[in-house]
Structure 1
Amino acid sequence: MESFLDKKGWKLDFILNTHEHSDHTSGNQGLVRRYGCTVYSHPGGIGKIPHATHPVQKGDKILSSAKEYLEILDTPGHTFCHVCILLVENQKPTAIFTGDTLFNAGVGNCLRGGDPTILAKTILEQFYPLEEEILLYPGHDYLETNLKFTLSLNPSNQDAIDALEECSRLPKNIEFLTTNLGKERRINTFLQCDHPSSELLKNVSIKISPKRLLDQNPTELFILIRSLRDKW
């Protein structure tokens, strides 16, 4: 990041950490030392995130101008100190930065201070209603692995098959696919819990222990898929 800023001749005004895990915050110390920048985080991250002193809460707007702003979403589940950032341009949401809450073809795990029931609530209530055109920028690129998991449950999902083929053609660690929420709803099983295919329901019911028939309860299905992904 420093070399990029140097090349552009830019300075760093602030850092906004989506959550407290060290793979997202370990650069804070060096950047604050060099640039004297402010570190923003979820209120629960103050004291956990290096140099975080300024809390942001649901509905806060930052980098606000007449035509665009970033809006803070409170998105617990992966951890209880997690925020996502929605870019709004000309009064229309156009992109979302999701940290470890929502990934391409997947969602974050809940193994380090999270709760799958809370994550299900966050995804179902905050992400399901968002417009299809919104671009997704997650904190990690797990697309290839997540697509293989999707196909383990929904092998006839042609959109996932096509996305995996496209993903396999990209240079590793250089390029990644940018999707929108419309595409995610076709390739991400976690975004299909309110309208699961019969194939998805059947395969989840076979793979869980003990095996049983499932009804179409979105929260229950989400939690079961998350548990299968944890063991996959």
Structure 2
Amino acid sequence: MKIIDQAGLTIHQLPDGPLQTNAYWIDTGTISCLVDPILDPRNRPEGASRLSLILATHGHFDHIGRSDDWRAMAAVKLAIHSDEASYLPDARLNGSAYFGAATEYFPAEILLHDQQVIQLDSRTSLLVIHTPGHTPGGVCLLVLQNQQAMALLTGDTLFAGTVGRVDLPGGQAAQLMASLDRLVRISEIYGQDVPVLPGHGSVTTLRDEMRANPFLTGKARFK
């Protein structure tokens, strides 16, 4: 499904994998990248331009499960936050050990850091926002075109109406709440109507989450 479709930028939401994780294909018309490579390579969008990079919002198996396939097929590199590097080759940390198919993935070739800018083309970039809590190295990716915020990819940090769990290895409730505060501050810079593209479930906006998400309104806290 196309979430963003305009001149110079198309973003497809492509649910796939055992937990129906949302992979996102970002295409500028001249270059493209895949965020959260759980997508079966056979489900690649038709007419998508050259794939240059794959990125993971975090290192859980339901987000990185086809990363080795993509790297072998398309000769691209995988980028993940430096605090998440240990998750890929560790079946316990990446969660695959708990779902009956313990898998060790190849290490990421690129290690990201907070506030890093990934330039896709002359107009389009991704801003890396470190949002620990669900995992130590979770990130959100702000898609910018001509410095205008087009979408915020939130992985398992923020969903429509709720947030990511913190009871898995490396999860910390206090960190996640601080990360949510960082996302709220994005609205102060780019406005509240920025589309939020989560790792699971439906698309929402910062405005809707600030208005109704109990973890952002203060009505819900982690026990």
TM-score (norm 2): 0.67
- Structure 2 distance, partners of 1:9, 1:73, is 26
The offset of 1:11, in angstroms, is: 4.3
Query: Counterparts in 2 of 1:25-104, with a 5 A limit?
Result: 25-49=64-88, 50-51=105-106, 52-104=108-160
* 1:88 aligned counterpart, secondary structure: strand
- Structure 2 distance, partners of 1:10, 1:44, is 31
- Structure 2 distance, partners of 1:138, 1:188, is 14
Is this contact kept in 1: 2:41–2:69, CA < 8 A?
Answer: no
Question: What amino acid maps onto 2:139 in structure 1?
Answer: V
Choose between structure 1 and 2: higher strand proportion.
Answer: 2
Q: Mark the structure with the bigger radius of gyration.
A: 1
Query: Counterparts in 2 of 1:1-232, with a 5 A limit?
Result: 1-5=40-44, 7-8=46-47, 10-49=49-88, 50-51=105-106, 52-112=108-168, 113-124=170-181, 126-131=182-187, 132-141=192-201, 176=202, 178-193=203-218, 200=219, 225-227=221-223
Tell which deviates more after alignment, 55-64 or 45-54: 45-54
- Structure 2 distance, partners of 1:53, 1:87, is 22
* 2:42 aligned counterpart, secondary structure: helix
Matched-pair identity in %: 27
* 1:226 aligned counterpart, secondary structure: coil
Instruction: Give the total of aligned pairs.
Output: 162
| 1:149 paired residue number | none
* 1:98 aligned counterpart, secondary structure: strand
Is this contact kept in 2: 1:69–1:87, CA < 8 A?
Answer: yes
TM-score (norm 1): 0.64
Tell me how large the CA RMSD over aligned residues is. 1.8
Q: Alpha carbons of 1:12 and 1:103: their partners in 2 closer, same or farther (altered >3 Å)?
A: same
Structure 1, gaps ≥5 residues long: 142-175, 194-199, 201-221, 228-232
Choose between structure 1 and 2: higher helix proportion.
Answer: 1
- Structure 2 distance, partners of 1:67, 1:31, is 26
The offset of 1:87, in angstroms, is: 1.1
